[in-house]
């Protein structure tokens, strides 16, 4: 791993679904990442792909073999190269992104990429009192996030960097919202 890679930052987002035929296992459906200049926090490059799950029932057959979406086996080298040895950033990546990456790589007997640091905007949101300026979409009465996607949309709306959408925030959009949030701090 090059020492310059350690200074690089990658904002990423994943979409996963529970496997119907393999209880307790998740399948990645989408992955998106933005490589960012750490000094100026501007996008250098991006990568986005749908991922066809090995278990066709996992996504209700939406990403069938005929859809043209690659399998995880086809894209894991690109994902590994983007993530390994970089600072990871995103919304809810400690709770969702990082565990999903580890699960996906482990399912194929592969070592998962490892971050040199993690910046999670969900942690920042919760540290600011969750209910504070982001409203009930961000957290429930107990301070726990009930809907991470709604919380990300609330952040985007708060900072004027996107229309609030309770559902349908694509992974690349989600990574860009996280980048814009960091730029507005």
**Domain harbouring 28, CATH code:** 3.30.420.10
Assign 143 a pLDDT band (cuts: 50, 70, 90): very low
How high is the pLDDT of residue 167? Answer: 38
- CA distance linking residue 90 with residue 98, whole number of Å: 10
Number of H helices, E strands in the chain: 6, 5
Assign 37 a pLDDT band (cuts: 50, 70, 90): confident
**Position 133 in a domain:** no
How high is the pLDDT of residue 27? Answer: 82
> Residue 86: which domain range?
6-121+170-183
Helix (H, G, I), strand (E, B) or coil at 140: coil
Which segments within the chain are labelled E, that is strand? Answer: 9-18, 26-37, 42-50, 87-90, 117-120
Considering only CA atoms, which of 185, 10, 4, 35 is closest in space to residue 93? 10
Which one is predicted more confidently, 66 or 88?
88
Contact of 51 with 70, CB cutoff 8 Å: yes
The count of domains in the chain is 1
How high is the pLDDT of residue 1? Answer: 46
Contact of 25 with 45, CB cutoff 8 Å: no
Rounded to two decimals, the pTM is 0.69
Dihedral angle of Cα 131, 13, 112, 29, to the nearest 10 degrees: 120
> Which tokens go with 157?
């709306």
**Position 162 in a domain:** no
């Amino acid at each position: 791993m090059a020492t310059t890679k350690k200074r690089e930052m990658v904002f990423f987002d994943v979409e996963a679904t529970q496997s119907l035929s393999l209880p307790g296992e998740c399948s990645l459906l989408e992955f998106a990442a933005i490589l960012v200049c750490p000094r100026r926090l501007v996008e250098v490059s991006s990568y986005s792909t749908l991922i066809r799950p090995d278990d066709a029932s996992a996504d209700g057959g939406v990403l069938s073999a005929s859809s043209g979406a690659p399998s995880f086996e086809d894209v894991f080298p690109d994902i590994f190269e983007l993530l390994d040895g970089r600072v990871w950033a995103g919304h809810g990546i400690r709770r969702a992104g990082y565990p999903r990456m580890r699960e996906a790589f482990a399912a194929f007997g592969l070592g998962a990429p490892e971050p040199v640091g993690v910046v999670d905007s969900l942690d920042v949101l919760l540290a600011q009192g969750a209910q504070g300026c982001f409203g009930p979409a961000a957290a429930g009465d107990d301070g726990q996030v009930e809907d991470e996607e709604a919380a990300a949309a609330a952040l985007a709306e708060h900072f004027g960097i996107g229309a609030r959408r309770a559902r349908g925030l694509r992974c690349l959009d989600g990574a860009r919202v996280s980048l814009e949030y960091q730029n507005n701090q």
